[in-house]
Amino acid sequence: MKGRNCSMERVEALIKKYQDTVVEHYHWLHAHPEVSGQEKETAAYIAAQLRKMGLEPTENVGGYGVTAVIKGRGPGKCVGLRADFDALPIQECTGLPFASQNPGVMHACGHDTHTAMLLGTAQVLMDLRDTFDGCVKLIFQPSEENSADSGAKKMIADGALENPHVDAIIGQHINPEKPVGTIGTRVGADSAASDRFFITVEGKSSHASQPQNGIDTIAVSAQIISALQTIVARNVAPLKSAVVTIGKISGGDRYNVLAGRVDMEGTCRNHDPAVRDMIEQRMESIIRGVAEGMGATYTFRYVRGYSPIMNDKDMIELLCATASEIIGEENIEIKPAPGLGGEDFSFFAEKVPGAFYRMGCHAEGTPIWPAHNEHMVVDPACFPVGMQIMTESALNYLAK
């Protein structure tokens, strides 16, 4: 890359220098997990570590979010590096010597490792700040696991991507099902939109023997449920994916009384913003058409959760070119299709070009436990890989 003033060897040497410190961060964070929205101690720890490096962190950004800016030697672009830091309400069963000290709370999604690696990356970039132009914005994000209260959304609303304006952003997530030294990513959608909806149908109850005097909301709901399934079958292109699921229904009081009201709840998943808009609109018009046609009234509330991550083409090219020099092209998987998980990095990537990748952290010869499992462990051997990809990608972006 043009304008690069420090060698990969120098970056590697610095990562080695700070490797033990990063493991210490990991052990502390892992032992002190806090659930989404309650990450007070974690945020204080992060801010204290940044201050030790000579940085001036901004705290309480959209909740317990922490940001800090590493200024290079001169003016230039600004690249954001993001790590999340909330834990899950799970009782840890790993038996690790630094296992959770908070009963019923565990870092079972590896957000402790994301944060430890970003603290290490910050230290490396501080040592290199006289070699690059522009700046790096460190974004430590709380509340990733609570789609009703996204930390990313709140940090953005509180200005995390401004002052200085962030031109592009990079984020990583561990993958306990893939070996250390591998990553997976793709251009475009890299996670699913996960939305929730609520439907209420109101009619008129009457004696079961006199249906002509009532409006049967169970009969109306049955038609609505069947008709909603035609959205995926008949309105979504066969090669795109989408789900419309009604997972909960309640109505009626007695076997011989027409139900005057039915409540339903469900979820929609998909990978394409146009499909997402279409599903919401089609749902409303089907519910309206069926309810009105059968003499009932309805309410429909559609609540958007996380959007799918839309990875930027140029940023993924930069990421993959950088990573192939570190782990080799053969260890980069370009995924043929996005997964159906949710991840609120999507809100950052909606605002500025973003690159998100999943990095293998499974230790060879050990059982594979997926994320969100009480046995899940991360092999710290992946830390230097993650730090190097983050550091090198940031330097290459700024030198572009």
Span of 1-9, 101-109, 202-210, 263-271 interacting with Ni ion by CB under 5 A? 101-109
Give whichever of 88 and 323 is closer to Ni ion, judged by the CB atom: 88
CA distance 3 to 398: 9
d(CA 22, CA 387): 10
Side-chain half-sphere exposure of 213, counting CA atoms within 13 A: 7
DSSP 231: I
- State the minimum distance, in angstroms, from the CB of residue 178 to Ni ion: 15
Which lies closer to Ni ion via its Cβ, residue 109 or residue 395? Answer: 109
Which ranges of 128-167 does DSSP label H, i.e. alpha helix?
151-157
Q: How far is the CB of 174 from Ni ion (least distance, A)?
A: 8
Binding segment for Ni ion (CB under 5 A), chosen from 85-93, 105-113, 235-243, 251-259, is 105-113
Give the residue with the Cβ less far from Ni ion, 109 or 183: 109
How does DSSP assign 5-41, residue by residue?
-S-HHHHHHHHHHHHHHHHHHHHHHHHS--BTT--HH
Q: Residue count at the site for Ni ion (CB under 5 A)?
A: 1
- The C-alpha atoms of residue 36 and residue 197 are separated, in whole angstroms, by 23
Give least dist CB 387 to Ni ion, A: 18
CB-nearer residue toward Ni ion: 111 or 261 = 111
**Residue whose CB is less far from Ni ion, 152 or 262:** 152
Enumerate residues 6+ apart whose C-beta is below 8 A from 5: 131, 132, 399
Q: Beta-carbon neighbour count of residue 261 at 10 Å? A: 18
Of the ranges 108-116, 129-137, 150-158, 289-297, which one interacts with Ni ion (CB under 5 A)?
Answer: 108-116
Contact between 368 and 101 under an 8 Å Cβ cutoff? The reply is no
Instruction: Lay out the site mask for Ni ion across 50-89 (x = CB under 5 A, - = otherwise).
Output: ----------------------------------------
CB of 323 to Ni ion, least distance (A): 20
Q: Whose Cβ is closer to Ni ion: residue 84's or residue 195's?
A: 84
Q: Closer to Ni ion at the Cβ: 109 or 169? A: 109
CA atoms of 42 and 140, how far apart (whole Å): 10
Residue that the structure tokens 């996005």 belong to: 338
The number of beta carbons lying within 10 Å of the beta carbon of residue 164 is 15
Minimum Å gap between C-beta 268 and Ni ion is 21
- Chosen residue from 109, 152, 290, 355 binding Ni ion by CB under 5 A: 109
The residue number whose beta carbon is nearest to Ni ion equals 109
Of the two residues 108 and 219, which places its CB atom closer to Ni ion in the complex?
Answer: 108
Q: Which residue, 220 or 361, is less far from Ni ion as judged by CB?
A: 361
Does position 309 interact with Ni ion (CB under 5 A)? The reply is no
Output the smallest distance, CB 381 to Ni ion, in A.
20
- The Cα 357–Cα 178 span in angstroms is 12
Q: Which stretch binds Ni ion (CB under 5 A): 103-111, 135-143, 178-186, 320-328?
A: 103-111
Q: Which residues have CB under 8 Å from 370's CB, separation 6+?
A: 176, 177, 376
CB of 87 to Ni ion, least distance (A): 10
Q: Where are the alpha helices (DSSP H) in the chain?
A: 8-31, 40-52, 111-127, 151-157, 217-230, 273-293, 313-327, 345-351, 383-399
Q: Which is nearer to Ni ion, 12 or 374 (CB)?
A: 374
Which one of 106-114, 240-248, 298-306, 313-321 is the stretch in contact with Ni ion (CB under 5 A)?
106-114
CA dihedral sign of residues 340, 343, 345, 351: positive
Query: Could you tell me which stretch among 3-11, 109-117, 119-127, 161-169 binds Ni ion (CB under 5 A)?
Result: 109-117
**Cα 235–Cα 238–Cα 242 angle in degrees, nearest 5:** 65
Kindly list the distances between the CA atom of residue 334 and the CA atoms of 186, 188, 319, 358, in Å, as whole numbers in the listed order. 5, 11, 12, 11
Q: Report in angstroms how near the CB of residue 111 gets to Ni ion at its nearest.
A: 6
Binding interface with Ni ion (CB under 5 A): 109
